[in-house]
A = this chain, B = another copy of it.
Amino acid sequence: MSVKERKERERAERERLIVVTARELAEQQGWDAVTTRRLAERIEYSQPVLYSHFRGKREIIGAVALEGATEMAAAVRAATSGVDGPRERVAALARAYLDFAEHNPAVYDALFQLDGGLAYAREDTPEPLKDAFAALLECLGEAAGDGVHPGLFTEVFWAALHGLATLTRAGRLLPEDAGPRVELLVDRLAIV
C-alpha cells in the first residue's frame, strides 16, 4: 500500500507546486503571463500534466483564490484582534483589507475579479470563501448600527473597500489620498 500512498503524496505535492507557481508567476507578471506553457515549463512538466490536476486555467485561478481567501481571513483577524475600541477595529480592518489587495494584487484578482469557477454567496460556496466573509462580518457586525442587518452592512462596507481597492489599482483613483478616503469611509459608514 505504501507505494500507492507515496504516489498520492507526490501527486498532492505537485498540485501544490502548480498552485504556488501560478500564484508566483501571476504576482510577478500578471495573470496574462500565466499561460499553460509557461506554467508547465516552470514546474518542469509538460502542459497536459496541468490538466490531470485541473480542468483548465480557470480552475487553477480558483485554487489560487481559495488559498488567498484563507490568507485574507487570517490577515483581517490578525489586524483586528488586538485593537481597542470598535471604531479603531473597523479602521484597522479597512487598512488590512486594502493592504492585502495592494500587496497581493494577483491573488486579489483571482478572488474578486477573475472567473475561477467558484460559487459565491451560495449554499455550496467553498468554506474558505465563507470564512473570509465571516472574518469581515465578525468585526463589522458590531458597527452596523441599530436595526441594520449585520450581513447587509458588511456587504456594503466590503463593496466600498473593494471599489477603493480596484479603482486605485486600475489607476482610476490616485493613491495619494488613500488614507483620508479610508478615514472618511469608516467615519461615515461605521456606527460605533
Which residues does A use to contact B, with CB under 8 Å? Answer: 112-113, 119-121, 148, 152-153, 155-156, 158-164, 166-167, 170-174, 177, 180-181, 184-185, 188-189, 191
Contacts and interface: CB of A to CB of B under 8 A. Distances in A.
Contacts of A163: 158-164, 166
> How many chain copies does the complex carry?
2
A166 B162 contact: yes
Given A120-B172, A189-B189, 20 more contacts: A112-B167, A113-B113, A119-B171, A121-B171, A121-B172, A121-B173, A148-B184, A152-B180, A152-B181, A156-B160, A156-B181, A159-B163, A159-B164, A159-B173, A160-B160, A160-B163, A162-B163, A162-B166, A162-B167, A163-B166
Contact of A170 (B112, B161, B164, B184): B112
